A and B are shown apart, each in its own frame.
Chain A
Amino acid sequence: MSPRKTKTAVPPHPMDALLRTDRMPHIWCPGCGIGTAFGCVMAAIQKSEYPLEKVAMVSGIGCTGRMAGYIKLDSYHTTHGRAIPFATGLKLARPDAAVLVVSGDGDLLAIGGNHFIHAARRNIDITVICVNNLNYGMTGGQQAPSTPFGAKTTTSPIGSPEEPFNFCYLAAACGATYVARWTSLHIRRLTNSITEAMQKRGFSFVEILTPCPTSFGRRNKMGNALGTLKFYHDRSVIRNDIDPKDATLDFSSHIVVGKFVDIERPTFTDNYNLINKKQLGDWPHLDEKVPASKKQASG
């Protein structure tokens, strides 16, 4: 019998109240950063002090998507790339719920990229957590829109010929009200950011850079699980409040982390209600009661 299947008495985990413990052990590989990210998400949910019946998690497909299967909340594991539009419907139907989307880099910004930019533009009041491990982990390590130029994956065996997105810059440009990036080593700051993102009205986005030693690290000489963590540790530089376009990821020297955007902007629902009161003038001379858009200069 494999050791994974041996049933031994497991001491209680501090997050047991939020976990479907009957679904353990989880599927994530040794050294994977998703467990740490998941721990921070759960800690943030507790810190946010939302009543638990009012917190819902929506995910798509991929390693990160499995978070929704382990959390003891209303949790929806949907189709590849479609977590955000599902969450949009859920949030609009249940405006009193805090809706979290958890998604990997491929799920969120390759197949789901169109939904990401439009939900940010509309300012749907959801919190989107992206675990970015630079590749498609679940299917064995293929090239993603996050894979750095030149990095090896199974579908870019010589090195990726494409340049990746800067997710934070993209989110900010599309109108996100809160944008932050951390690695899975920044546990305290990451937890605080997810809590702030949950409390933020509007489309809030937190990117978490995580090691994927099994698929990405192995092919790119990042060492073993610990070595990959050290890779991130040595290169992370905190730059709060900088323009998101300068929040670059240069894996050869430094990767910029921090909170980049924290602004107020009317949500989809705010504007929907405002428009439907029919008290505005005709476009373009709308009544000055319309709250001004405060997008950042980079937007």
Chain B
Amino acid sequence: MAGKSVLTGTFFMNGDYACCEGALAVGCRFFAGYPITPATEVAERMARRLPEIGGIYIQMEDELASMAAILGASWGGMKAMTSTSGPGFSLMMENIGLGVCTETPCVVCNVQRAGPSTGLPTLVAQGDMMQARWGSHGHYEIIAIAPSSPQEMFDFTIWAFNLSEQYRIPVLIMADEVVGHMNERVVIPPEDKIEIVERRKPKATPEEYLPYRADSDWIAPMANCGEGYHPHITGLTHDERGYPVMDAATQEKMINRLVGKIRDNCEKIIRYDEMHMDDAEVAVVAYGISVRSAKRAVREARSKSIKAGLIKLDTVWPFPEKLIREIAPKVRGMIMPEINLGQMVLELERCAGGCCKVKLVPHAGGAIISPKTILGAIEDMIKEAK
């Protein structure tokens, strides 16, 4: 148990490893997973690191079990995560829904590869973005974030745990094969500089406590197993007591709260970054690995005196609707590069509301989109607008 949970220092590290270090730094002490390319390195590092610091690594029999186990561990009071890729992400969907319905904090890192089915196991894609949003059945809201570098794999994993503890919801880290496998500089700050959010504990006595009576911000305090509150937790539609109630009125109340706690807090959840947007005529809106190509394309456009800017989406779900609605009337057009044939761009179009042109730079997967391709799209849009 001699290991350190926060490896303060500067490292040359791949994104999968950085994800682990972020998790350990924020207090994750339970990992259940199943090996799958290109997320295996997350499990491998967790298997080495968790026992050093008194945590638990367990390799489960499949991804269904991995997801179920992290929910159980979270109710046991531990911060818990799993990591996977396409096929495994599909298998986790039902229990992600259980996590949403029972409001269980946990983190799932999906290091995306090209699909459908087995697809291209070793090569990049961003094809699971809509699955992240709607992959489990029923209507719900989710939080998904998209790191674009190993440093962000570290930073965003900390953020993911904090969001999950704050809003009591599974948080999805939508990484990809390139972000997961590339090595870059990763700076791990001193322990006292790491922001840590813990789940809200009940203030009521066990007799008065209702597991799903929310505070004014829609969030209900959470009693862990063994704390004497004896909550009943179910994936059935339930009331404030946590008891199953099979009627439309209870369903409406529960779904409105599950959705409301994310929608009403979305301004606090959503993060993004801007580059050269002050006078931009064309905005490249990008997330994940495509941000890196987009940055270079925007810089090159500027060097050619084209007024291009970048909006980097750190949060992809909930989608930054307000931001896009504000920017759309101020630009001639928006360009979204994504390694799929059009997923997040549908949201972009919806939020742009016809106030500007919206163009997709698609890629079916297997490689990243080159800066040149994005630059070409920027130049085309400027020409079309004239």
Minimal beta-carbon separation of A55 from chain B (angstroms) = 9
Cβ of B60 and Cβ of A74 under 8 Å apart? no
Tell me the complex Cα distance, A96–B225, Å. 10
Given contacts A74-B225, A82-B65, contact A89 B71 (CB under 8 A): yes
B236 → chain A closest CB, angstroms: 7
Number of chain A residues whose Cβ lies closer than 8 Å to a Cβ of chain B: 39
- Verify if B285 is at the interface (C-beta below 8 Å from A): no
Does residue A138 face the partner (Cβ distance < 8 Å to B)? no
Which of B73, B226, B232 is close to A92, meaning CB atoms less than 8 Å apart?
B73
Which chain A residue shows the least CB distance to B236? A77
State the CA gap A96–B78 with chains docked (Å).
Answer: 14
> Distance (Å) between the CB of A20 and the closest chain B CB?
7
Q: Are A20 and B232 in contact (CB under 8 A)?
A: yes
> Does B76 interact with chain A (Cβ within 8 Å)?
yes
Q: Per-residue CB proximity of B22-56 to A under 8 Å, as 1/0?
A: 00000000101000000000000000000100001
Q: Is the CB of A77 within 8 A of B65?
A: no
A58 vs B71: C-alpha distance in the bound complex, in angstroms?
A: 12
B374 close to A (CB within 8 Å): no
Q: Which residue of A lies closest to B243 (CB)?
A: A23
* A87 interfacial by beta-carbon distance below 8 Å: yes
* B47-94 at interface with A (beta carbon < 8 Å): 51, 56, 58, 60-62, 64-66, 68-78, 80, 94
Chain B residue with the shortest CB-CB distance to A96: B226
Which A residues lie within 8 Å of B236 (CB)? 77
A94, B51: Cβ atoms under 8 Å? Answer: no
A85 engages B72 (CB within 8 Å): yes
CB contacts (< 8 Å) of A42 on chain B: these are none
Instruction: Report the bound CA distance from A222 to B232 in whole Å.
Output: 36
A69 to B233 Cα, complex, angstroms: 8
Q: Which residues of A contact B230 (CB under 8 A)?
A: 52-53, 72-75
For the complex, give the distance between the alpha carbons of A268 and B243 in Å: 33
Q: Shortest CB–CB separation between residue A8 and chain B, in angstroms?
A: 21
Number of A-B contacts (CB under 8 A): 139
Pairwise interchain contact B60-A85, C-beta atoms closer than 8 A: yes
- Residue ID in chain B nearest A124 by CB atoms: B58
Q: Which residues of B contact A56 (CB under 8 A)?
A: 225-226
| A89/B70 in contact, CB under 8 A | yes
Interfacial chain A residues near B32, Cβ < 8 Å = 85, 88-89
Q: Please state if B72 and A74 are interface contacts (CB–CB under 8 Å).
A: no
Complex CA–CA separation, A55 to B231 (angstroms) = 12
A58 to B102, CA, bound (A): 14
**Which B-chain residue is minimally distant from A23 (CB atoms)?**
B243
- Is residue B98 contacting chain A, with contact meaning CB distance below 8 A? yes
Q: A89: which of B62, B73, B98 is its contact (CB, 8 Å)?
A: B73
B116 within 8 A of A: no
> Is A114 an interface residue when CB atoms closer than 8 A count as contact?
yes
Kindly name the residue among B68, B95, B226 whose own CB sees the greatest number of chain A CB atoms within 10 A.
Answer: B68
* Contact, CB under 8 Å: B65 / A76: no
| Complex interface residues of chain A between 52 and 107 (CB less than 8 A to chain B) | 52-54, 56, 58, 68-69, 72-79, 81-82, 84-94, 96-97
Given A20-B232, A78-B98, A93-B80: A88 and B244 interface contact (C-beta under 8 Å): no
A279 at the B interface (CB under 8 A) = no
The reply to whether B243 and A88 contact each other, CB–CB distance below 8 Å, is: no
Complex: chain B residue closest to A66, CB-CB: B244
Pair B243/A92 contact, Cβ less than 8 Å: no
For residue A95, which residue of chain B has the nearest CB? B76
Q: B370 contacts the other chain (Cβ, under 8 Å)?
A: no
B243 and A76 within 8 A (CB): no
Q: Do B71 and A77 touch (CB < 8 A)?
A: no
Provide the residues of chain B in CB contact with A52, threshold 8 Å: 230
A252 within 8 A of B: no
SS class, residues of chain A in contact with chain B: helix
Residues of B within 8 A of A89 (CB): 30, 32, 68-76, 80
Number of chain B residues close to chain A: CB under 8 A: 42
- Whether B244 pairs with A94 at a CB distance below 8 angstroms is no
Query: Which residue from A53, A93, A115 sits with its C-beta under 8 Å from B73?
Result: A93
Tell me the residues in window 24-72 of chain A with beta carbons closer than 8 Å to chain B beta carbons. 52-54, 56, 58, 68-69, 72
Cα distance A41–B65 in the bound complex, in angstroms: 26
B227 within 8 A of A: yes
A82 to B233, CA, bound (A): 14
Residue B138 lies at the interface, judged by CB distance under 8 Å to chain A: no
**Residue A233 CB within 8 A of the other chain:** no
Choose from A58, A79, A81, A87 the contact partner of B235 (Cβ within 8 Å). A79
- Point out the residues of chain A lying under 8 angstroms from B9, CB to CB: none
Interface residue from A23, A72, A82 paired with B68 (Cβ < 8 Å): A82
A114 to B65 Cα, complex, angstroms: 9
Q: Which of A53, A68, A90, A114 contacts B76 (CB 8 A)?
A: A90
B226 contacts A94, C-beta separation under 8 Å: yes
With both chains docked as a complex, state the minimum distance between the C-beta of B161 and any C-beta of chain A, in angstroms. 15
* Cα of A18 to Cα of B86 in the assembled complex, Å: 43
> With A79-B94, A97-B225 in contact, do A88 and B72 touch (Cβ < 8 Å)?
yes
Report chain B residues within 8 Å CB of A189: none
State A77–B237 Cα separation when bound (angstroms). 11
- Cβ of A283: which chain B residues have Cβ within 8 Å of it? none
Interface residues of A in 89-138 (CB under 8 A from B): 89-94, 96-97, 114-115, 118
Q: A77-B235, A85-B69, A118-B61 are in contact. List 15 more A-B contacts (CB 8 A).
A: A20-B232, A20-B243, A74-B225, A74-B230, A75-B230, A76-B233, A78-B71, A79-B68, A82-B95, A88-B68, A89-B32, A89-B74, A92-B56, A94-B224, A96-B226
The 10 closest A-B pairs by CB, nearest first: A93-B76, A89-B72, A89-B69, A89-B73, A85-B65, A90-B72, A85-B68, A77-B234, A86-B72, A82-B68
Q: List 25 A-B contacts (CB under 8 A).
A: A53-B227, A69-B234, A73-B230, A76-B72, A78-B68, A79-B68, A79-B95, A79-B98, A82-B98, A85-B61, A85-B69, A86-B72, A89-B73, A90-B72, A90-B76, A91-B72, A92-B73, A93-B56, A96-B226, A97-B226, A114-B65, A115-B61, A115-B65, A118-B61, A268-B58
